[in-house]
């Protein structure tokens, strides 16, 4: 028995209980009718009439006439009340029995005609609907759009609808051809350029390099704030290893969509990953992450500063290709750095300072921690991951706002 049937049965029982309770309540109160109220009043009048006759306010003749009139009215009420009660009780009983039988029976009868029992299996119902929509409705829609295009070959909206329909059907080559036709009609439309780029990428498994990236760049030249263009442009730049460009585009998209919590969370995660890749790539220093738009903003407060040097005993073990990573990480929790910077080894000794702009993740900033471990490491491979042969310092636990001296003086075994 399904949950739906159980709930329907309980609801029917509840309705019947309310209905029966109402009927019995009304029948208990039914003796308090207008006729019985009148009878009580007439009895009181007879008592008052007898008292007036006893004290001499009424003569014997007046008393007998008034008494006869009241007694006649009493007989009239008594003769009428039993018949009314019997009729009312009879119909109430019949109505109660009929309601108790008809309410659940009529509900079941109506559901058998207008209900959808197969809809109780939600998963099967959704699968059926999706399958039906994919296989029949989409193809039917595509056929109708093609018929319209035959009569209106320059209708850009129709070409776009046909392309989106093909994409929904996973016919990516046909979708790209439709977008290409729309692009030929309106080559300067940034929305068409971006959609055409996406379709071209889908034909090769989502790869946006090459022509798709060029189309996206053209769209952003026309409209630098095009939302989908910034999103796909950041993805294309990230895939091409242009992490700073990806950060800039996604940051710009964030500023235009501050109220979209889900999109903001996705973009923050992407930007954080791009910052980590930027540190590891060695093509740009992490201190270059701040974009041109952000450079004019008020500088954040310094969280920790210090001086890094290498011991004289190990100086002869470094080479010109080595790089230095300076980092701050949580005293408790994962070993992943909270903030980091990368400098060439020939800049040692080096004075550094960390603020929140060096944080690798927007939701995990230096200012969120009262204290952290600070250290430095010379990487032989240029990789941010610690490896055998690297030269490193011990870590120092410092509080926010402190200054620390770091000496790189040991070799990773």
Q: Looking at residues 92-113, what average pLDDT do you find?
A: 68
Determine the pLDDT at residue 195: 92
Determine the pLDDT at residue 64: 75
Determine the pLDDT at residue 297: 46
Average per-residue pLDDT in the chain? Answer: 76
β-bridge partners, 396? 374
Q: Is the pLDDT of residue 316 over 60?
A: yes
Determine the pLDDT at residue 84: 44
Considering 117, 147, 172, which residue would you say is the last residue of a domain?
Answer: 117
Instruction: Say yes or no: 60 and 198 in one domain.
Output: no
Q: How many structural domains are present in the chain?
A: 3
Instruction: Say yes or no: 284 and 142 in one domain.
Output: yes
Determine the pLDDT at residue 288: 45
Instruction: Say yes or no: 83 and 48 in one domain.
Output: yes
Q: What is the pLDDT of residues 19-43, one digit of tens each?
A: 666 655 544 444 445 556 666 676 7
β-bridge partners, 180? none
The position carrying tokens 């992407």 is 270
The percent of residues in the chain predicted with pLDDT above 90, rounded, is: 6
In a domain, 122, yes or no: no
Burial class (CB in 10 A: 0-12, 13-18, 19+), 407: middle
- CA–chain centroid gap for 288, Å, is 34
Q: What is the 3-state secondary structure (H, E, C) of the chain?
A: CCHHHHHHHHHHHHHHHHHHHHHHHHHHHCCCCHHHHHHHHHHHHHHHHHHHHHCCCCCHHHHHHHHHHHHHHHHHHHHHHHHHHHHHHHHHHHHHHHHHHHHHHHHHHHHHHHCCHHHHCHHHHHHHHHHHHHHHHHHHHHHHHHHHHHHCCCCHHHHHHHHHHHHHCCCHHHHHHHHHHHHHHCCCCHHHHHHHHHHHHHCCCCCCCCHHHHHHHHHHHHCCCCHHHHHHHHHHHHHCCCHHHHHHHHHHHHHCCCCCHHHHHHHHHHHHHHHHHHHHHCCCCHHHCCCHHHHCCCCCCEEEEEEEEECHHHHHHCCCCCEEEEEEEECCCCCCCCEEEEEEHHHCCEEEEEEHHHECECCECHHHCCEEEEEEEEECCCCCCCCCCCEECCCEEEECCEEEEEEECEECC
Instruction: Say yes or no: 140 and 284 in one domain.
Output: yes
Domain of 144, in residue numbers: 134-288
Positive or negative, the Cα torsion across 18, 24, 28, 32?
A: positive
In a domain, 294, yes or no: no
Q: Which residues contact 311 (CB under 8 A, 6 or more apart)?
A: 407, 408, 409
Instruction: Say yes or no: 103 and 149 in one domain.
Output: no
Q: What is the pLDDT of residues 277-305, one digit of tens each?
A: 776 665 444 444 444 444 444 556 788 88
Q: Is the pLDDT of residue 367 over 70?
A: yes
Considering 117, 147, 177, which residue would you say is the last residue of a domain?
Answer: 117
Q: What is the pLDDT of residues 232-273, one digit of tens each?
A: 988 998 888 888 888 888 888 888 887 777 787 788 778 877
The percent of residues in the chain predicted with pLDDT above 70, rounded, is: 71
Instruction: Say yes or no: 250 and 387 in one domain.
Output: no
Report the alpha-carbon distance of residue 296 to residue 298 in Å, rounded.
7
Q: What is the pLDDT of residues 55-75, one digit of tens each?
A: 777 677 777 777 777 676 666
Q: Is the pLDDT of residue 135 over 80?
A: no
Considering 89, 117, 145, which residue would you say is the last residue of a domain?
Answer: 117
Q: Is the pLDDT of residue 342 over 70?
A: yes
pLDDT: is 361 or 151 the higher one? 151
Positive or negative, the Cα torsion across 347, 350, 353, 354?
A: positive
């Amino acid at each position: 028995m399904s949950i739906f049937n159980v709930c329907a049965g309980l609801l029917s029982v509840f309705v019947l209980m309310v209905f029966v309770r109402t009927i019995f309540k009304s029948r208990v109160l039914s003796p308090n009718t207008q006729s019985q109220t009148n009878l009580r009043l007439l009895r009181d009048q007879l008592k008052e009439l007898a008292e007036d006759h006893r004290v001499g306010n009424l003569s014997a003749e007046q008393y007998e006439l008034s008494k006869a009139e009241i007694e006649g009215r009493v007989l009239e009420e008594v003769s009428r009340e039993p018949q009314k009660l019997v009729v009312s009780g009879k119909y109430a009983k019949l109505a109660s029995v009929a309601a108790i039988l008809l309410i659940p029976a009529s509900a079941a009868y109506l559901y058998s005609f207008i209900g959808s029992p197969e809809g109780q299996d939600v998963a099967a119902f959704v699968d059926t609907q999706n399958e039906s929509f994919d296989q029949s409705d989409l193809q039917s829609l595509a056929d109708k759009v093609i018929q319209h295009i035959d009569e209106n070959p320059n209708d850009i909206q129709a070409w776009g609808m046909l392309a989106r329909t093909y994409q929904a059907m996973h016919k990516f080559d046909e979708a790209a051809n439709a977008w290409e036709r729309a692009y030929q009609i309106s080559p300067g439309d940034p929305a068409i350029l971006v959609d055409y780029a996406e379709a071209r990428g889908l034909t090769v498994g989502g790869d946006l390099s090459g022509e798709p990236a060029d189309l996206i760049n053209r769209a952003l030249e026309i409209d630098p704030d095009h939302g989908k263009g910034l999103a796909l442009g950041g993805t294309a730049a990230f895939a091409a290893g242009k992490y700073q460009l990806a950060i800039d585009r996604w940051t710009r998209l964030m500023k235009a969509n501050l109220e979209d919590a889900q999109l903001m969370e996705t973009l923050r995660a992407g930007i954080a990953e791009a910052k980590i890749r930027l540190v590891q790539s060695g093509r740009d220093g992490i201190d270059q992450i701040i974009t041109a738009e952000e450079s004019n903003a008020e500088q954040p407060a310094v969280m920790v500063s210090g001086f890094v040097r290498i011991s004289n005993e190990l100086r002869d073990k470094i080479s010109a290709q080595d790089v230095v990573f300076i980092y701050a990480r949580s005293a408790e929790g994962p070993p992943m750095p909270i903030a980091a910077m990368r400098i060439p080894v020939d800049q040692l000794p080096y004075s550094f300072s960390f603020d929140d702009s060096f944080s690798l993740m927007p939701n995990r900033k230096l200012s969120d921690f009262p204290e952290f471990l600070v250290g430095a490491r010379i990487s032989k491979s240029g990789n941010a991951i610690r490896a055998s042969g690297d030269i490193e310092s011990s870590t120092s636990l410092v509080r926010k706002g402190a200054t620390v001296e770091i000496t790189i003086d040991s070799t990773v075994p």
